[in-house]
Amino acid sequence: MTALSSDRRQRLLKFLGGLPPAAAAKLFATIEADRARGGKSLPHGLLIDALRPELARVGRLPSRPKTAQRIFFAPFEDFLVVFRTGKKRRARIARASLAPIWEILEHDPACAAAQRAIAQLQVAIRENSANLEACEESLFAAAEQGLSRLVARAEADADFRDSLEARLGGEGAFEDLSEITSILPAVPHLKDMQKAFPRPITALSEEELYTARRLYADARAFAPTSAPYLLLALAGRMERPWRAMRVYYHLSEARDDALSAAGEDAQAVLETLFDDLEGGARALERDAAGDFDARDAELKVIHFADFAEGLAGEAARAGDNVVFNRVEACRDIASDALARFAEQSLAALRRAMPVRHAGGSTRLMAMRPDYARPAPPKTLADAREAAEFLADSAEMARRLERDAIAQAIVEDAIEETRRYGGDLVLEIRAAEGEERIAARRLMEQIFDIAAPLLPPGEIGLLRERAAAAALTA
């Protein structure tokens, strides 16, 4: 497998780092399954390494020792992302924000009560005290008080806000601090939700829906503005995030007086899921307008298609045409991007098949393979990845329910590759000495590139014809 360039690696890591924890775990399972099947189109090792922080949080790696800092941020684990992609989004807290927020809790004078609570909690951890839970509760209460004071001052004083943002590392981190502060009143309820629903959650039974409903109602009665975060946390714990739509439909239909605001709060689940889906579609659209990266594009298309298929299925089961039509609009955007990726793949193939004018006495001169102008290794590697993308594009189009979106381009790629191989056989037969060696070298490169597109039997026949041509006098 060709090593990824630094730029391509960063693009891939940024995409993976923006996934919620349960989605990352689901992607990990897909990557492992693809590797077990012998798949060659994805960089399995790199992807698994990139997902490793999420795997640790879903219990696939050994747990780390308790610290006051880890205990404090544990209730927010379903909202954490490794990288912030674009503007700040609700229930998406960048991991980079945690250390500076903790630094403020430990040292800012406004958080003096929290600092005493941290010290008490550290002693309780060290001594494995029976009083540990009470110390945790004291820390959350003191942190809410101190951080609320800081946020309120920052919102009233622009200079203080600038200073606080600088200490936190930027505006996005301040927004993360504000969101954590707003969630703190619901921390006991978030912990109950985490205990009731260990992740990853594969599906929700009817009984579990009512459990979630009860936990949400308790939080709504105690901390009404923070209660929607219980639903968002539950969605973040789903192995397949779109299955949280069952919670949305269940609460939207609730008629209890105690749940009069449930439909509005549950809307946060729907909008968060569509933020992910629509963001994925727009990301594909942007990528299709830039430099092409076959493996990066395929990974994103597969992830998007999986998400769209899941959301559409939930909407169809609920008879929700509004949601279904929103999914279809996103699929249209992603399908246009897939078509563009296919065009870029064909262009990458052509760059690895250099041509020259055949010569002659007329102006109508055919183009012939140019074995005297070898393609650089990167061009050949890109072409092989592009061929793999084209070979997989029919399945990607099927998953997007746009079966014919790239069919004509794939057919052109197959025909051009086949014709180029046939023309190279003629060049090998006509060439002599070093030129014949160069032509055969190019043919071997074409065999490697064409492997995903042409049947093995056809490549074998071309190989035999090339060998026979090389034996001519």
Contact 331, 401 (CB under 8 A): yes
Spell out, as residue ranges, where the chain has pLDDT lower than 50: 1-3, 58-62, 360-364
Contact 404, 336 (CB under 8 A): no
Instruction: For residue 375, report the phi and psi dihedrals to the nearest 5 degrees.
Output: -75, 145
What is the predicted pLDDT for the residue at 12?
65
Of the candidates 123, 181, 172, 171, which has an alpha carbon nearest to the alpha carbon of residue 151? 181
Alpha helices for 108-227 (secondary structure H): 112-126, 132-156, 158-168, 171-183, 187-196, 206-222
Residue with tokens 């046939």: 422
Contact 236, 78 (CB under 8 A): yes
Side chain identity at residue 153, one-letter code: R
Of the candidates 103, 63, 60, 57, which has an alpha carbon nearest to the alpha carbon of residue 76? 57
Q: Is the peptide bond before 200 cis (omega within 30 degrees of 0)?
A: yes
Of the candidates 400, 390, 172, which has an alpha carbon nearest to the alpha carbon of residue 280? 400
Which residues does 35 contact at the CB level (< 8 Å), separation at least 6? 42, 44
Q: Which helix (H) or strand (E) holds 248?
A: helix 245-252
Q: Report residue 296 as tokens.
A: 């990066």
What is the predicted pLDDT for the residue at 5?
59
Which residues does 127 contact at the CB level (< 8 Å), separation at least 6? none
Reduce the DSSP state of residue 89 to 3 states and report it: coil
DSSP 278-322: HHHHHHHHHHHTS---HHHHHHHHHHHHHHHHHHHHHHHHHT-HH
* pTM of structure: 0.80
Q: Tell me the β-bridge partners of 356.
A: 368
> From CA 273, how far away is CA 162, in angstroms rounded?
32
Cα→Cα distances 231→77, 160, 332, Å: 14, 33, 29
Q: What distance, in Å, lies between the first and last C-alpha atoms of the chain? A: 38
What is the predicted pLDDT for the residue at 420?
94
Q: Is 176 left (phi over 0), alpha (psi -120 to 50) or beta?
A: alpha
Residue 343 DSSP one-character state: H
Contact 17, 302 (CB under 8 A): no
Of the candidates 439, 463, 459, 446, which has an alpha carbon nearest to the alpha carbon of residue 380? 446
Q: Report residue 286 as tokens.
A: 């942007």
Which residues does 391 contact at the CB level (< 8 Å), separation at least 6? 410, 452, 453
Residue with tokens 């909690």: 121
Alpha helices for 400-455 (secondary structure H): 407-430, 433-450
Q: Is the dihedral of CA 208, 306, 285, 294 positive or negative?
A: positive
Contact 184, 147 (CB under 8 A): yes
What is the predicted pLDDT for the residue at 2?
42
Q: Report residue 306 as tokens.
A: 């999986």
CA angle 451, 457, 459 (to 5 degrees): 45
Query: What would the pLDDT profile of 368-420 be if each residue is shown by its tens digit?
Result: 899 988 889 999 999 999 999 999 999 999 999 999 999 999 999 999 999 99
Which residues does 161 contact at the CB level (< 8 Å), separation at least 6? 154, 155, 174
> From CA 13, how far away is CA 10, in angstroms rounded?
5
